[in-house]
C-alpha cells in the first residue's frame, strides 16, 4: 500500500505503530491534527481490507505497521465523534474475518461516538443473516453505550432483553452472549427473561455459568446460596458433535 494513497495526516496512521505495543490510548486528534474534514478518508482507511492483513503473518516492518492502520483510523473516528462513520463501522463487524483486532475496538469506539449508534446497532443485531459472533459484538457495543451514557441504559437493556426473548429461535451461543451483556449491565429487570432462557436449556452454561451463577452476578443471590462448580458435563454434551470455538482452550476444559 502506497503512503500517497491517503492524504496527510491520515497517511501518518500507516506507520503510526503496532497497537499491541502502544500503552494507553493516544490522543490522535491533538497529536496529529485530525478534524472533521478527514472523516471520509478515515472511513476509507478503516474499511480498507487490503491494509488489514494479519500482522503476525507479515515479515516486512512497514507492512506490519500498515496492518494496524485501520484500527488507528477507527480510534480517530471515535475521538472525532464522527456520527457519519456509525454505519460503516457497524458493517465492519463481519468484514475482517479471522482478525479480532477490529471487533475488540469497535464496541468502545461506537460507544464513544454516542447514542446515535443505538438504532443502527439494533437493526444490525436483529438481522439474522449476520452470524452469532458478529451480532454479539454489536450487542457488546450497546452495553458500552449504556455504560458511558447512563441515560440510554434502559433502552439498551430493553433491546438486549427483547433479543433474548427469542431464545428458542436464537443460536444458543448468541443467547449466552446476550445474557453476558445483561449481567455486565447488572440488569436485574431482565432476570425473568434470563430465567426462562435457562429453563428452556437454551443457554450453554459453560459460557456464562448456570442460572444460580447469573443470579449471583446480578446480585439476586449471594455466593453462599449457590454451588460454584464449573459445568464441565454441559460443555462436553454441548460440543459432542461440534468443533470447539477458537476462544476455548481444550486443555483448560480437560483440567
pLDDT digits (tens, 9 = 90+) for 154-196: 999 999 999 999 999 999 999 999 999 999 999 999 999 999 9
pLDDT exceeds cutoff 60 at 200: yes
Q: What is the pLDDT of residue 184?
A: 96
pLDDT exceeds cutoff 80 at 245: no
Once rounded to an integer, what is the mean pLDDT over residues 201-211? 92
Q: What is the pLDDT of residue 197?
A: 97
pLDDT band at residue 96 under the 50/70/90 scheme:
low
pLDDT exceeds cutoff 50 at 248: no
Rounded Cα gap, residues 63 and 113, in angstroms: 29
Q: What is the pLDDT of residue 146?
A: 98
For 74, residues 6+ apart whose C-beta sits below 8 A from its C-beta are 46, 89, 92, 102, 105, 106, 109
Once rounded to an integer, what is the mean pLDDT over residues 111-123? 97
pLDDT exceeds cutoff 80 at 199: yes
pLDDT exceeds cutoff 50 at 59: no
pLDDT band at residue 238 under the 50/70/90 scheme:
very low
pLDDT exceeds cutoff 70 at 140: yes
For 37, residues 6+ apart whose C-beta sits below 8 A from its C-beta are none
Q: What is the pLDDT of residue 252?
A: 46
Q: Which three cell numbers stand for residue 54?
A: 494479519
Q: Going along 36-147, which residue ranges are E strands?
A: none
C-beta of residue 73 within 8 angstroms of C-beta of residue 10? yes
Tell me the domain boundaries of the chain. Answer: 1-96
pLDDT band at residue 234 under the 50/70/90 scheme:
very low
Amino acid at each position: 500500500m502506497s503512503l500517497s494513497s491517503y492524504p496527510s495526516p491520515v497517511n501518518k496512521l500507516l506507520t503510526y505503530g503496532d497497537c499491541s505495543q502502544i500503552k494507553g490510548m493516544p490522543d490522535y486528534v491533538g497529536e496529529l491534527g485530525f478534524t472533521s474534514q478527514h472523516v471520509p478518508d478515515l472511513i476509507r482507511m478503516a474499511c480498507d481490507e487490503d491494509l488489514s492483513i494479519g500482522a503476525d503473518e507479515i515479515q516486512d516492518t512497514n507492512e506490519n505497521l500498515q496492518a494496524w492502520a485501520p484500527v488507528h483510523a477507527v480510534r480517530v473516528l471515535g475521538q472525532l465523534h464522527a456520527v457519519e462513520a456509525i454505519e460503516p463501522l457497524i458493517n465492519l463487524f463481519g468484514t475482517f474475518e479471522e482478525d479480532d483486532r477490529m471487533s475488540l475496538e469497535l464496541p468502545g469506539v461506537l460507544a464513544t461516538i454516542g447514542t446515535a449508534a443505538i438504532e443502527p446497532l439494533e437493526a444490525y443485531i436483529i438481522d439474522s443473516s449476520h452470524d452469532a459472533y458478529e451480532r454479539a459484538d454489536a450487542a457488546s457495543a450497546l452495553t458500552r453505550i449504556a455504560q458511558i451514557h447512563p441515560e440510554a441504559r434502559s433502552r439498551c437493556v430493553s433491546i438486549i432483553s427483547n433479543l433474548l426473548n427469542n431464545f428458542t429461535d436464537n443460536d444458543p451461543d448468541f443467547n449466552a452472549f446476550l445474557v453476558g451483556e445483561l449481567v455486565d449491565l447488572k440488569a436485574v429487570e431482565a432476570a425473568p427473561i434470563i430465567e426462562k432462557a435457562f429453563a428452556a436449556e437454551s443457554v450453554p452454561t459453560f459460557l456464562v455459568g448456570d442460572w444460580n451463577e447469573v443470579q449471583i452476578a446480578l446480585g439476586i443471590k449471594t455466593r453462599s446460596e449457590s454451588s460454584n462448580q464449573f459445568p464441565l458435563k454441559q460443555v462436553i454434551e454441548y460440543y459432542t458433535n461440534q468443533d470447539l470455538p477458537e476462544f476455548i482452550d481444550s486443555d483448560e476444559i480437560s483440567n
